[in-house]
Structure formats: structure tokens, C-alpha cells
Amino acid sequence: MKIAVLGAGNMGLSFSKSFLKYELIKPENLHLVTRKKEKVNKISRNFPGSKVSVFSDLKTIEADLVIIAVKPQDFQFVAENISFQFKENQMVLSIMAGIKIEKIQKFLNHKKVVRAMPNSPTLLGMGITGYTAAEGISFPDLMQIERFLNSTGRSVYLEDENLLDGVTALSGSGPAYFYYIVDAMIKAGTKMGIEENLAKLFVKQTMLGAYHLINNSEKSLEELIEDVASKGGTTEAALKVFDENELKETLRKGILAAEKRSKELSN
């Protein structure tokens, strides 16, 4: 199978590395396309054996799967400046946030489009990607796409494309919410006199351990909280302040604001 990646930025290169790491494709069957000539040499060094092209020089594209990994705001420029026609049997996989299948089909004049929403941990092979597809794409084609997406972590198929706005808000933007909370905890630690690097160690290891408890315990989140928050104790004192300041509601509102923005970008 031959794959071309239009947009050799962080996410496009991350996907490409995963495909090669798990030997889903051979280096010579990977074609990376960038808009910036100055990036060609660096990309070529990092992907020996693969073809690297500048977008403006691209006259044809020989690939079974074409991944559109440009920034959403750059898509219209890219689509309007493509100097070739997609072949009927070529699959297009978009990993652009907020741009709907119908728009991609219209701008590329091509029907076989799959739309996916990955998140930044795909850079480590620990991401999660929601994806959906245009009508008429076969089950074997979808399974092939899922195989590639799973090389970057996990993937979930969604029949309703509109749910991708929620996926964008929940998991696409989600890592930033955790970084935000971790940052607040570290700063609280330094405020209490704990040296910053030590505060980082305590908070990061606590987060890692809590994740594994969530992942391996049969208890609900409420039960896990109760296990830590003994009556009249320190955890209860913190949770009381969180509740008084409606932290859960604030987080919920923020995530819904992210969904709203995703919908706006889709239009």
C-alpha cells in the first residue's frame, strides 16, 4: 500500500512514524509533501528511503491513501492549488479539525473521504482518534483505515459525523485541560514551599498512578474519590472548596465552549 501525506507537520509526521514503526508500509511507499522548501532536507534525513516533495512542485500523486494533515485554515489554499485530480479509487483521510466531509468532498471533487480527529498523545503512540466516513466506503476500506489509526493509539468509529465536534472538545482539546490542572497543582506545591522540580515529580507521579487506578479498578469514580477523602480529612477540605467554587461546572462549561467553537469552525 502506498501512502501520501499532504502536510508534513507534527501530526502528519507522527502518523508516518507510527506507520513505519509497526511496518504497516515500507519507507519507499511513503510520500511526504510540505509547503516549505527549507524543510525538505530535514524531513528526508528523518525519513530515509521515503519520497519528500514540495507542494508547489506536485503534479501527480501515486498513493492508495492520501492523508490531509494541513492546518484547517490552510485547507482552502491547498485545495485550490492542487494541480492534479484524485483518482476514483484513492482514499482520502482528513485529520483536520472542524472541516466536514461534505466540504472536503466539494473542495477536492472526490467522494471517498474519511474524517478523523486525533489528539496530541498520538505523537507517543498513546492517542485516541474518533473517525467517521462518507457514504459508500466499504467495510474493508474502513478496517484498513482503522488499522493505520490504531498504530497511533486507539480509534473509535462514529456513525454520526456531528459527534466529532464533541470528540474534538473532549479528547482533541482534552490534553490541555489536564496540563492546566497539573500546572495549578504544581504552583500550589511551590506556594507551600516545595521546590518546583520536586512538586512536578509529586504531581506527575500522582497523576500517573491515579490513571492506572482508574484503568484497573472496578470501582466508580465516586467510590475512588471516597477511598481518598476520609471524613473530616485533608482531601475533604480541598473537595469542599472545589464544590463551593463549582469547579466541575466550570470545567463542563469550558468543554462545551470548545465544542461550540468546533461547530463554528465546521461552518
Q: Which residues are annotated as a binding site for NADP(+)?
A: 6-11, 34, 69-72
In whole angstroms, what is the distance from residue 179 CA to residue 199 CA?
A: 14
In whole angstroms, what is the distance from residue 209 CA to residue 211 CA?
A: 5
**What are the beta bridge partners of residue 51?**
31
Angle formed at CA 145 by CA 140 and CA 147, multiple of 5 degrees: 95
Strands (E), 76-126: 91-94, 113-117
170: amino acid identity, one letter:
L
Residues 135, 225 contacting (CB under 8 angstroms): no
Phi, psi of 113 (to 5 degrees): -125, 130
Strands (E), 8-164: 30-34, 51-54, 65-68, 91-94, 113-117, 127-133, 153-157
SS3 173: coil
Burial class (CB in 10 A: 0-12, 13-18, 19+), 113: buried
Q: What 8-state DSSP symbol labels residue 84?
A: S
Q: At what angle do helices 247-266 and 174-191 cross, to 10 degrees?
A: 150
Q: Is 2 left (phi over 0), alpha (psi -120 to 50) or beta?
A: beta
In whole angstroms, what is the distance from residue 203 CA to residue 183 CA?
A: 9
